[in-house]
Amino acid sequence: MWEARSEQQWLEERAFHDIGHPFRTFGDLMRAKRRPNDAGNVERLDMWEAGTDKMGLLMNFAIAFAFADAPPNAYDDHDNSIGDASSNM
């Protein structure tokens, strides 16, 4: 992707890369996992699962453990402490 020789080539590579990475932050993934049946989350989670590797599997486990003891609304959209710039994937 970073070896693109033109802006158009870079944009095409970026679009291809983004298709396989539907979440920009760990918090985005957590919120989608919390509400897997919400509009848009089904497709995004399917793309995530199809393209995940061992690191993605570990992230899925981390989310499962986080949800195990969390109150029902712990990771709702209004919680901006999840997915800040320091947690970008």
What does pTM read for this prediction?
0.58
Spans in the chain with pLDDT lower than 70: 1-2, 19-20, 72-89
What does the pLDDT read at residue 33? 92
What does the pLDDT read at residue 55? 85
What does the pLDDT read at residue 1? 47
- Rounded to a whole number of angstroms, the CA Rg of the chain reads 15
What does the pLDDT read at residue 77? 57
* pLDDT, tens only, 56-78: 888 888 888 888 877 766 656 55
User: Cα separation of 25 and 18, whole Å?
Assistant: 13
